[in-house]
Chains A and B, each alone.
Chain A
Amino acid sequence: MSDPPAIELKDVSKRFGPRWAISRLSFTLAPGRSLLLTGHNGSGKTTLLRMIATATFPTLGAIELFGQETRRHRADLRPKVALLSHANFLYEDLTAAQNLSLAAQLLGTDAPATKVAELLDRVGLLARANNPVRQFSAGMRKRVSIARLLLKAPKLALLDEPFGELDPAGITQMEGLIRELQAQGATVVLATHLIEQGLALTQERLHLEQGRKEKVS
């Protein structure tokens, strides 16, 4: 008796305004596997990741995560899924520590203060813990988002251009983070333009062209 797939897309289409951003997409990803998602800007990668994250829902068709349909079971699924996105979901006027502390308390974490300090230290932001995020560079903001993702310890991690805005040291750190998530048994979907790094980190690949799955040579 096998576990249900981590992600199962069943003939999914998504309308965005008047256009169809995703057209009749179907695929499956087993738990613990990692998928590389490629495609030009505007091919639908971000929309797809947002749908899997339950930030939005398909117009037609259905998405199941670990056997549960996203629309109906979003409350059960959201604690298990984390999205690292271009939009960092941070409050500009709160400090890094306050942003993470809020996330920790919302997750019902025990001893949130210690955990927050630990994670900030891990991403190298402990010295700037009490500075408002507004003062941070793009790379630093990304690191706060990474810390928040680690806090969640998700079963399914969705990474939308995680290497963007990072310097080479940051990219190496991000690769390490992805390997760590994989070692913990998480399922990972990685959308990136850095094909080389992406291929090294993943086992499967999905290429999108105008919202449709395309065969990759």
Chain B
Amino acid sequence: MPFWSPLALFAVVLAIVVTHLVVPSTRGWMWKLSALVGLGALALLLFLGLIWAPPEAFMSDVGRILYVHVPFVWMCMVAFTLNVGCAIAYLMKKSWRTDALAESTAEIGVMFGAGGVLMGSIWARPTWGVWWDWDPRLISTTVMLLAYVGYLAFRSFTEDPERRATWSAAVSILGYVSLPIVWFSVRWWNSLHQVQSTSQSLDSQMKIVMWWGTVTMLFFLFAFVVKRYEIARSRQSTALEAPPEAPRQEVTA
């Protein structure tokens, strides 16, 4: 397995995303293509992760879940970052598209995040002996996840569409801002209590698989976000009346 293969795969993802954005006529099917290629990459990932990569000295075979766990968490962070970008963009210039993308990225982010945290927990039990721990990454991800679950709940409970868009943008920004704060405070707490952070020194083969896994998940992230965006847009068009047309006849006051 050549060391540059994840990079080649990344070039494919990038090509798909750019084509989707730049060539409108491809938007109907680009996400489907992405999902298909992703499935292929996933099949290869399963082989690489379960068979090709050597068992890690410290974590043995249990560590193999990391090849999916870590990419899931990365996708969660990418999605949430896109979401807060949409939030800021919406507050600067209102647009239903921006709001639809915000809705989509939040949901997909929560999906990946929940999966990531769950897998992390499954990995932690045999490795550390506990289901939960004071790891800055774990706590930060969980806090963000909870913040965004709140975001989704808030959206579903706010009826007026314009207010929902503006207010959830505010919720998104306030929630995202917590990420560096949480990270820093937990890390500092751990350093004061001399808690060892799990050292993950991966050998080169494992690194290739980790990167391959991350790029594989990008295909799915893209496909899910696009599809969910389309669902959001179609919901908008059915829920909202079209803008009024010009007056039927000339009326004078």
Contacts and interface: CB of A to CB of B under 8 A. Distances in A.
Note whether A and B contact each other (Cβ less than 8 A).
yes
Interface of A: 13, 15-20, 23-24, 27, 59-60, 204-206, 211-215
Contacts of B241: 15, 18-20
A129 B243 CA distance: 48
A132 to B, nearest CB: 31
A214 B239 contact: no
A13 to B, nearest CB: 6
B160 interface: yes
A215 B244 contact: no
A15 B239 contact: no
24 contacts: A13-B244, A15-B162, A15-B241, A16-B160, A17-B160, A18-B161, A18-B239, A18-B241, A19-B241, A20-B241, A20-B244, A24-B244, A24-B246, A24-B247, A27-B253, A59-B162, A205-B253, A211-B244, A212-B247, A213-B251, A213-B253, A214-B251, A215-B251, A215-B252
Interface string B176-207: 00000000000000000000000000000000
If over half of A's interface residues share one DSSP class (helix, strand or loop), that class is named, otherwise mixed; here it is: strand
Interface of B: 159-162, 239-241, 243-247, 251-253
Contacts of A27: 253
A33 B82 CA distance: 51
Nearest to A216: B253
A60 B243 contact: yes
Nearest to B240: A18
A20 B239 CA distance: 12
Contacts of A59: 162
Contacts of A214: 251
A204 B253 CA distance: 8
Contacts of B162: 15, 59
A76 B210 CA distance: 58
Nearest to B239: A18
B107 to A, nearest CB: 21
